[in-house]
Structures are given as structure tokens and as C-alpha cells.
Structure 1
Amino acid sequence: MTAPGVPEAQLRHGRGSLALSFFIQGAVFALLVTRIPAIQDRYGISDGLLPVFLAAVPVLAGAGSVVTEHLVKRVRPSVVLRCAQPVVCLALLAVGSVGSMAQVACALAVFGLSVGALDASMNMLGVTLQRAYGRSIMLGFHAAYSLGGIAGASLAWAGAHWQLSLAALYGPVVLVLTPLAWVAGRWFVDRRTVDPQPADRQAVAYQEGAAKASLGMRLLLPLCLVMAFAYIGDSTVSNWSAKYLQDVLGSSEQLATVPYNVYMVTTLLGRAFGDLGVRRFGAAAVVRAGTVIAAGGFALVAAAPGAWTGMAGFTLLGLGLCVIVPQTFAAAGRLADESHHPGASDTAIARLNIFNYVGFLIGSPLVGALGDAWSYRGAMLVPMALVLVTLAYARSFDPGRELYGDDHERPRTADVG
């Protein structure tokens, strides 16, 4: 329902600015992860030490999410996001510009901590806006993130093709994105914006609600597992698709780079149109369909007789996995809202966000260890089985009487576009 006292234009501006924030984060993150080999070469990071650097980022991001859970009890999530995003951008520039391994380690630490705060606060605002709109819009925000990832990966490819230094690649991007992120933050809309209570009563109710919300967090556990398993699947694609296609399915080195790009494009497409599916069929049905499609993708990859069949499997994975994470955040916010405590939703989002990084940390080493000890074909069946667990928890995504959109839409006072 559109909140009383919040103009429709303010909600539309909040939606646009938040989508821009998701886009910027997708681009920045892609610029970092796609240039890991160049970062390793620049600072002389050994192959043995590189996994430590890579693991530290999601660990610190999880810590940043925990800090954000407590910070938003006193500071608006919109303020956290507006401050964290420029820090992430500047940390990226530092990664490409500092002069020693110790300094790049510090830059990556700042990047990780601020990314945790950014991811948590972005999704808090997304859940709040979806609630204010009264219909599914969460997938659209994550589609903006995917589009940013494609843009960032394309810029990284151009930088590698033209043999630009990391500083020359990151500098102009950060110069554009940092002030853009700061200015866009002026129009963020969060829960306290749409709450018509006086500011002092909002703050007290928010802190009391966040404290009481911890009593019901056991209800969040199924969604935490779904989040972790979805990111295990995602990290399997991002870290192993090229190696699998080349080493197991015998593709050329050039063709082996294609599956992840296809995965990113199908992820974007699935998210761009996913909200329509949620409005028409409900969140639980869309998550079930996505789970079955993703599991079919893993099965096709594991059984693929050749490279093109394997690529078809990775294409299915993008279409299937893309809907799970945004809907998991939305379901967590809805479950928390049912407690009627003002701070419960943001607390739930911050805690759920930690399992994003848990899945990212587990996925790549798990598949690698199973591939070395058993076979990479068999290893692909493990994330398939984990993703299928989502079917057991699909009812957690069902808003019951408050299904969003079209045939399922609850009454609202105004349509905000």
C-alpha cells in the first residue's frame, strides 16, 4: 500500500535512484573480480596467497553486514547506503593505485567491509520500496545489478584489450560513479521515510522493534539456507564454467569464456521480466519454477556430451538462479513485517545478507575439492542437489493473503507506476 504522506513522485524517484545504486555496485564489483589476475600480477601476490586475499573480502563483507544490522537501529539505511557506496568506489580505485601488497590488502579490507554495508542497506531499501508499491519490483533492482555487472565486465575487457593499467581503467570509472552515487542518494526512500509517525517516535519504535525481532529470527533460517545454496550455485558458474567447458567438455579456450557471459545475459533477462511473473503467479510459484530450471541446468551440464550442450546448461542456470536471491530478500522482509515491529525487516535483511557471502565462500572450494577427488561432472550434481532444497522451503515465499500484483494484488490507495 502506498504510505500516507509519501508523494508518488518521491517513491518513483526513490525507485530510480536505488536502481542506479544497484547498477553502480554491479559495475564496480565486476571491475574488481574480472581483473583479479591483473591485480595479482601488479602486486606480486603468489598463487598460494591469492585465495587468502579472495576469501578475506566476503568474510569482511559478512562482518560489514553484521555491523549494518546494529547501525541501522540508529542511522537510517538510506544514510548508510549513501555513505558506503562512494567508499566502495574509492576502495576500488585504491586497489588499482596503491604501491605495495600491504596497501592493497588494506584497500581490499575496506572494500569488503563497505560492500557488506552496501549490500545490506541496498536490499533494505528495495524491500521497503516493494512494500510501499504493493507489488513485486525487487527483481528489477537486481536486474539493474546484472546490467551493471555486464557493463563492468565489458569495461574490464576493454581495459585488458588496450593494455590499460588498473589505475587508468579504474580512475575514470570511479571519477564518474562516485559523485553519481552520492547525488542519487538524495532521493533514497527507506522505512522511516514512509512511516508517518513523528521522527522521535519513529526512532524509539524502530529500535524496540529491531530488538524484539531477534526473538523470531529462527523463522528466517530456511531463507538463509536458500540464500547460501543459491550463491553456491552462482559461484560454481562464475568460478568453474570456463574450466569445465575447456577441460571436461573439450572446448577451445575462446569458447570457454562464453558460458559466463551467456549466464550474465540470461540472468539479466530473467530478472528484467521476473517481476511480471511474480505479479501474475505469485512469488512461490516463480521460485519453484526457477529452482527446477536451475536444477535442470546443472543436470544438463553434468551430462553434457559436448561444449554446446554444456553451454545450454549454463544458459538454463542463469534463467533459474536469477529469481531466487531477490525473492529471498523480499520474503525475509515480508516475514519480518508480519511481526509488526518497525525494525524487524531491516534486521532480517542484514542477517540474511550474511549467507550471500557464506555461499560465495563455500561454492568454489566445494566444487574444486569434489572435482579433484571425484570428477567435475559429479561435482556439478552437488550444487544441483543443494538448489533443489529450495523446493522444500518454497512455502516461505508465499505471501498468503498479500500476494503482489494483478490477480494477487492487495488493495492499495494509489498506483505509483
Structure 2
Amino acid sequence: MTLPDSSAMTAPRFLTPRTATVAMFFANGFGIGNWAVSLPLIKDAAGLDAARFSLVLLGLAVGAVVSMPLSGLLLPRLGGSGRATGAAAIAFSLLLALPTLLASLPTLVANTLVLGAASGLMDVSMNAHASTIERRHGRPIMSSFHAAFSAGGLVGALFGGAYLGVGLPSPLLLPVAAIVCLFLVLATKRHLGEGEPPREADAARPRFRINRAILGLGLLAFVFMVVEGAMADWSAVFLTTIHEASPAEAAMGFAAFSITMLAGRLTGDWTLAVFGTVKVLVIGSLAVAGGLALAAASPDALAAGIGFALVGIGAANMVPVAFSLAGKAGPAPEIGISAVATLGYGGFLAGPPMIGWIAAHFSLPDAFWLLAGAAALMGVANLAARTRA
């Protein structure tokens, strides 16, 4: 064990790797928040229609999905989860600077493929590193790392909006955001430590494995990342089409979800320590189901917004718990996390199009009812697992 690099670990020194890892989560969220704000700029600057622009977004997704299962193999070769996190964070920051400066579809797709791969490697490596730190800490702390990511995304979106609002050059938004990310990464990466190197006996084994425990955690991550994707891509559409809300009013639906999710993650470590993992999973699943049902049956936009806020509270700690448990499900954290991250991210990508298909053939409230049922089934499954145990 080489986290931190000294042979003796004391509580004050242990806080240094944790703080540095929190900074990595924040930097990743900050970059993605600015990326989201910049998407209309990228589309307009390159003169892309919706079909060609979707290839840019597909490039990011494909890069991430390909790199995540390979990350279990790469982490030990990069010297452990700490070094891999630092290297991936630097690559992510540098590649983030380019999209608003590129004007052709081939170069944009090439950039987003590599950017997605760096983001996928950073996602797996920093979660594996956080899992190692959590295990050494002796109590649940994974939610605090994911709270940093959520906070980074919120701050990044606000930063990007403010940058554009004061009339600064729009092509330079992502380069400026990338400089902020790179500064934060370089200032903290040396405090990460190396993480936990793989045991020699495991070095020759495949690094991407799915056993029964990993499959269950992957299903959990899949369902609730579908929910997160649905809130990101369909909450505003739901409010404008079902309740005829204005664009400004519709934006408040996702804002309600984001704020309650951040609050839930900020308090998640305490919640898990007091109530335990199973109760958090069961109650969280039922809260998500109830929130989606309230939104689907809502008589007005206010009731739907309350439903979205309830979804944020319930979903806040589902993915952090899945990653935390996945990090303990194999001989090294990156093995379980790479598998669960791949399955979960697949849900985030596949969920919004699935909801669109259901909305086109049935209705958007019907899609939300179906998601509510899936969330409720996750709650029942976790309760049944506890009963069997």
C-alpha cells in the first residue's frame, strides 16, 4: 500500500490524498459543466446541423465507453490509481481546450473521441483512488467525492454562463475553462499518492470482470444513471410540452433536481454512516420512484418541479454507493469500478434515446412511469437482498 508515499499514515496526513482527490472530482465536473454550456457554440462555429452535431456527441460517448473497461488494465501500468488519476486529469484538461477552436467535423469528432477516452479513464481512476482512500478511512466517504463533482458541474455551468454573459470571446470559453482545470490539477496531483498497486498474483489476469455482485451493482448504476440522463435531457422538455412552461420556468426543473442532488451528496457520508447502505439504497430508490410518479401525474409545473427535486434527493447517493461497493468487490478497486462505470455510463447514454422512443410511441409521462417502476424494483431488490442476508 503506497497511499500516501510515507510508510506511516496518520490522520492529518491522510487528509491530503482525500483533499487532492476531491479536487480532481471538482475539476472533472467543472470541465463538463463548461462543456455543456459550450455545446451550442461548437455547433454554430462548425456550421453543423443536428444530425452531424450528433456525431460530435457520439464521439465523446464512444471514447468514454471504450476507455472505461480498458482502465482496469491501464491503471496498474500507469503506476496505480493516484498516478493514473493525475495523468488522465492532465490529458482531460488539455483536450478540453480544443473543441471551440475547431471548425471541421472530422477534427471535432477526433477530438471528442480522445477527450471522451481521457474523461473515461479519469472517471474510473479517480473513483478507484477514492475507493482506496475510503477503505483506509474506515467509514463511508464516497458521496463527498461525488458531491465535489456535482459542485464542479454547477460552478462550471455558472462560470460558463457568466463568461458568455459579459461578452467575452466565445471561442475562448473552453480554453479558459481548461486553464482553470489544469491549474487545479497541477496544484493538487502531487498530493494524491500512488494508490494501491495490484498484487503480483493478479497482474496477468483480465482486468475487466463481471461476477454476480458486479452485475448487480452495474444494474443499479445503469438504472439510476438512466434517471440522471432523463433529468438532464428531458426534465425541461417535460415542463414545456406537458405543462406549457416558459423556457426560464422549464430550466427550474433541472435546477431543482441538481440542487437537491448536490445537497444529498454533501450529506451522503453522514446519512450512510447513520442509516447504513441498505436503508439508503431502499429509501433512495423509493424516493426516486415517488418523485418520478409525482412528475408523471403532476397537474402543473410546480408539482412536477417538486417531483424532480425528490428525484434528486433519492438518486444522490445511488451511484456513489454502487462505485464504493464495486471498489470492494474485486482484488483491486479498478476492476469492479471499471465494469460498473461502463454499465452505468451505458445507462446514461442509452437512457435519453430510450425515453425519446417511448415518448414518441406513447407519451413522455408514460416514460417517466416506466422509470418510476424500474426505480421501485431496485428498492424491492435491495430490500430482498437484505432479507436473504
Give the TM-score normalised by the residue count of structure 1.
0.86
Residue in structure 1 matched with residue 83 of structure 2 by the alignment: 79
Does residue 128 (structure 1) correspond to residue 128 (structure 2)? The answer is: no
| CA–CA distance in structure 2, aligned partners of residues 379 and 158 of structure 1 | 34
- Quick one: which of 335, 338, 349 aligns to 1:347? 335
Does residue 102 (structure 1) correspond to residue 72 (structure 2)? The answer is: no
| CA–CA distance in structure 2, aligned partners of residues 243 and 261 of structure 1 | 14
1:205 positional shift: 4.1
| CA–CA distance in structure 2, aligned partners of residues 134 and 350 of structure 1 | 22
Residue in structure 2 matched with residue 21 of structure 1 by the alignment: 24
Residue in structure 1 matched with residue 9 of structure 2 by the alignment: 6
Residue in structure 1 matched with residue 222 of structure 2 by the alignment: 228
Structure 2 residue runs without a partner (length 5+) = none
| CA–CA distance in structure 2, aligned partners of residues 304 and 133 of structure 1 | 43
Which SS does the other structure have where 1:269 is aligned? helix
Number of residue-to-residue matches in the alignment: 384
Which SS does the other structure have where 1:334 is aligned? coil
Does residue 358 (structure 1) correspond to residue 352 (structure 2)? The answer is: no
Amino acid at match of 1:300: L
| CA–CA distance in structure 2, aligned partners of residues 99 and 396 of structure 1 | 53
| CA–CA distance in structure 2, aligned partners of residues 251 and 66 of structure 1 | 41
Residue in structure 1 matched with residue 369 of structure 2 by the alignment: 381
1:57 positional shift: 1.4
Root-mean-square deviation (Å): 2.4
Which is further off, 351-360 or 51-60?
51-60
- Quick one: which of 304, 315, 322 aligns to 1:310? 304
Contact 2:281 2:318 in 1 (8 A): yes
| CA–CA distance in structure 2, aligned partners of residues 55 and 388 of structure 1 | 30
Contact 2:70 2:208 in 1 (8 A): no
Which is further off, 64-73 or 388-397?
388-397
- Identical columns (%): 25
Contact 2:86 2:185 in 1 (8 A): yes
1:30 positional shift: 1.2
Contact 1:13 1:187 in 2 (8 A): yes
Amino acid at match of 1:157: G
Deviations 1:104-162 (A, max 9, x none): 22211111000110000010011111100000100000001111011011012223323
Residue in structure 1 matched with residue 315 of structure 2 by the alignment: 321
Amino acid at match of 1:115: S
Q: 1:88 to 1:306 in 2, by over 3 A?
A: same
1:250 positional shift: 1.6
Residue in structure 2 matched with residue 371 of structure 1 by the alignment: 359
Give the TM-score normalised by the residue count of structure 2.
0.92
1:180 positional shift: 2.1
Equivalence map 1:31-70=2 (5 Å): 31-70=34-73
Equivalence map 1:283-294=2 (5 Å): 283-294=277-288
1:68 positional shift: 1.1
| CA–CA distance in structure 1, aligned partners of residues 98 and 234 of structure 2 | 28
| CA–CA distance in structure 2, aligned partners of residues 213 and 241 of structure 1 | 34
- Quick one: which of 105, 108, 121 aligns to 1:117? 121
| CA–CA distance in structure 1, aligned partners of residues 298 and 81 of structure 2 | 45
Amino acid at match of 1:383: L
Q: 1:58 to 1:154 in 2, by over 3 A?
A: same
Contact 1:96 1:167 in 2 (8 A): yes
Structure 1 residue runs without a partner (length 5+) = 194-201, 402-417
Amino acid at match of 1:91: L
1:5 positional shift: 2.9
Amino acid at match of 1:355: L
Deviations 1:372-402 (A, max 9, x none): 111111111122122223224426997x99x
| CA–CA distance in structure 1, aligned partners of residues 214 and 384 of structure 2 | 9
Q: 1:41 to 1:218 in 2, by over 3 A?
A: same
Does residue 255 (structure 1) correspond to residue 259 (structure 2)? The answer is: no
Contact 1:125 1:189 in 2 (8 A): no
Which SS does the other structure have where 1:26 is aligned? helix
Q: 1:397 to 1:187 in 2, by over 3 A?
A: farther
Does residue 241 (structure 1) correspond to residue 235 (structure 2)? The answer is: yes
Contact 1:263 1:317 in 2 (8 A): yes
Q: 1:188 to 1:32 in 2, by over 3 A?
A: same
Q: 1:206 to 1:266 in 2, by over 3 A?
A: same
| CA–CA distance in structure 1, aligned partners of residues 383 and 73 of structure 2 | 29
Which SS does the other structure have where 2:97 is aligned? helix
Contact 2:132 2:196 in 1 (8 A): no
Deviations 1:284-323 (A, max 9, x none): 1111111111111100110011011111011011101111
Q: 1:306 to 1:279 in 2, by over 3 A?
A: same
Amino acid at match of 2:103: G
1:9 positional shift: 2.9
Which is further off, 127-136 or 247-256?
247-256
Does residue 137 (structure 1) correspond to residue 125 (structure 2)? The answer is: no
| CA–CA distance in structure 1, aligned partners of residues 376 and 170 of structure 2 | 40
| CA–CA distance in structure 2, aligned partners of residues 392 and 211 of structure 1 | 33
Contact 2:328 2:336 in 1 (8 A): no
Amino acid at match of 1:373: H
| CA–CA distance in structure 2, aligned partners of residues 203 and 323 of structure 1 | 30
Amino acid at match of 2:358: L
Contact 1:127 1:138 in 2 (8 A): yes
1:244 positional shift: 0.7
